[in-house]
Structure 1
């Protein structure tokens, strides 16, 4: 740098131009105020925020001020108004739910309280079959007392292991179970009545690895329009499938699903992993109807309801059906708490667009066209009640997923299920009353005829 720097002393502070031009020759002059002049212009650098006790003593609190009182009044009435609207809304929901349930007169058909120490066979009939009931289920249904028994005023339907009856070896190889030979089969085909086990490669087969029960009122009670109530606690255990449902007594419109099926409630025994579990933590209701298996239109009349706490295998719920010529309501706990509602506001033929369906490469005719209530058909005939506990199957009720011990598309699903029993058997309680569906009571009513008076 050329030339010596000028010394910086108090006498030179007042003129920044002189400092700048002498330190950096050729730079523009800048004016600078001295610290003393800054202090004089701004006065005190800091203002005290200390509260004067006398001033505070005379100050009115905000909530006692005119503005504060007005604001608090407004807030109070706003909260009260919002609460009132909420109460009205909740009341409206309750009233709407109550009014949505049609009011009818009913005549009692069945009041089963399971008061005795054995099953009343004048009411209940065992279905005894080995064929899987169209779903390729893994259980055979029996008339064994271990699979359906009455104890302490409750009916229990309990799945057990078939090897407890037939031995381990019989399940896998070299055994033929023929229910026709002993006269116990209630099915109509050989597949319903005969099962065998075989380990020959390419011809694998097993006996149904589970025994359970399926009870019906087919020979004793049925209703065409009316009410059903079943109070039950559902079973615990992976891949257990309990159901309360109905089938037509006479198949007026032909074989399943032409004559329909009413599923009042179905659940799954798998453990609930969390409150939002949509696999095990739901109750489902549906109607099955169509022309054949391929055109079963149940998905158009299927609904489910989530159970967020007090799960179905922990407490008893009442599951019900209200059914009249205008529609159906399947419910849990009370009729206003619907699982599924189906209004008969159009023919099922139209609802399923079945005019465009093909059965055996042809367009079939409408099987329900001759009904007196075409909007209700096929649900305009007598149906009987079924209580069942199934296990597994390949119809998709149990969707393929990680941890599932069989695949629905497997050629040997029951065998796969049995060979992987170490994965699911530990989830089945050793106490049969916990492993099974427990039913406290069953009630059925028919819709009273016009002018009819029924005994209370």
Structure 2
């Protein structure tokens, strides 16, 4: 016959073990971000409720000032580390590479020695200025041209809740490489679907004159799907599969980035034409519209 003391101790041990297992199932240790909460796997994909968006922008920059971009709207990523893609530019935070005049933001990439690099450019971010969960982003822009240019209009997670790239996701509203003129790409990256394992979700469309005229680049982001539009024509849709954050980390806030990279693994895949610089991306406006919840 069991003693009551031994039985009681076994019950306490079992309770503690269950508690430890429960704690370990909702967090994990990463190399650089400490404990990261991992939510339970959803039962299935969400229902598309047909979400719409407000008709007046919640946040916008029409670039009506003169000089540097407004500090109330924009910050900068700076440096010349290669940015994970072997890029050639050094990003600055000066009007040498990002300036506003006549209603236009101009990001300029130049061939000049800067920070140990042979090119300078700018990478503007709305981090901690505009961080949004769901909504519509519209950016009207004219792109640079020539071999070695790699402009982008894109989004990154502000808090990296699920871990470092690509675990917390990326939304590329527009990417263009100069050696493939007038072909524009819309892409999303996640831990399950990203370019280094060749599983990224992506669409491309030829748009004549992306470097000679302004075109509208847009994302509509809801709990159900990320949808991409070029000149208001839908070119991309990635629906939430309802299988967890490895596929869909897009339930946390993101911010916007505007930049021109030089060279790099993709932009420089066919070399860099040293005779074309400076090159510029011009932005007429940036507008964000809140999603109307249902």
- What TM-score does the superposition give when structure 2 sets the normalisation length? 0.76
Question: Does 2:266 match 1:388?
Answer: no
For 2:87, the equivalent position in structure 1 comes to 137
**Kept after mapping to 1: 8 A contact 2:152/2:258:** yes
Alpha-carbon distance between aligned partners in 1 of 2:176 and 2:124, rounded to the nearest angstrom: 17
Q: Alignment partner for residue 143 of structure 2, among 234, 240, 248?
A: 234
For 2:188, the equivalent position in structure 1 comes to 287
Quote the offset at 1:103 in angstroms.
4.8
Quote the offset at 1:398 in angstroms.
4.3
Quote the offset at 1:144 in angstroms.
2.1
Quote the offset at 1:343 in angstroms.
1.4
**Kept after mapping to 1: 8 A contact 2:147/2:268:** no
Alpha-carbon distance between aligned partners in 2 of 1:143 and 1:121, rounded to the nearest angstrom: 11
Q: Alignment partner for residue 169 of structure 2, among 260, 265, 272?
A: 260
SS at match of 1:426: coil
Q: Alignment partner for residue 235 of structure 2, among 339, 343, 353?
A: 339
SS at match of 1:158: strand
Alpha-carbon distance between aligned partners in 2 of 1:438 and 1:101, rounded to the nearest angstrom: 36
Quote the offset at 1:101 in angstroms.
11
More helix by share: 1
Q: Which one has more relative contact order, counting CA pairs under 8 Å at least 6 apart?
A: 2
**For 1:149-200, what per-residue CA distance to the aligned partner results, in whole angstroms no more than 9, with x for missing partners?**
001110000001223xx6xxxxxxxxxx5xxxxxxxxxxxxxxxxxxxxxxx
User: Cα RMSD between the aligned structures?
Assistant: 2.5
**Kept after mapping to 2: 8 A contact 1:228/1:443:** yes
Question: Does 2:74 match 1:115?
Answer: no
Quote the offset at 1:281 in angstroms.
2.7
Alpha-carbon distance between aligned partners in 1 of 2:217 and 2:63, rounded to the nearest angstrom: 17
Which ranges in structure 2 are unaligned for 5 or more consecutive residues?
Answer: 1-47
Matches within 5 A, 1:89-238: 102-106=50-54, 108-118=57-67, 119-163=69-113, 177=115, 207-238=116-147
Number of paired residues?
A: 245
Matches within 5 A, 1:240-389: 240-270=149-179, 279-290=180-191, 296=196, 299-307=199-207, 309=208, 311-334=209-232, 337-347=233-243, 368=245, 377-389=248-260
Which ranges in structure 1 are unaligned for 5 or more consecutive residues?
Answer: 1-99, 167-176, 178-206, 271-278, 350-367, 370-374, 406-416, 418-423, 451-456
- What TM-score does the superposition give when structure 1 sets the normalisation length? 0.50
Quote the offset at 1:291 in angstroms.
6.8
Alpha-carbon distance between aligned partners in 2 of 1:211 and 1:255, rounded to the nearest angstrom: 26
For 2:284, the equivalent position in structure 1 comes to 440
After TM superposition, the runs of 4+ consecutive aligned structure 1 residues lying more than 4 A away are: 100-103, 295-298
Alpha-carbon distance between aligned partners in 1 of 2:145 and 2:177, rounded to the nearest angstrom: 8
Quote the offset at 1:300 in angstroms.
3.6
**Kept after mapping to 2: 8 A contact 1:216/1:384:** yes
Quote the offset at 1:313 in angstroms.
0.1
**Kept after mapping to 2: 8 A contact 1:109/1:221:** no
More strand by share: 2
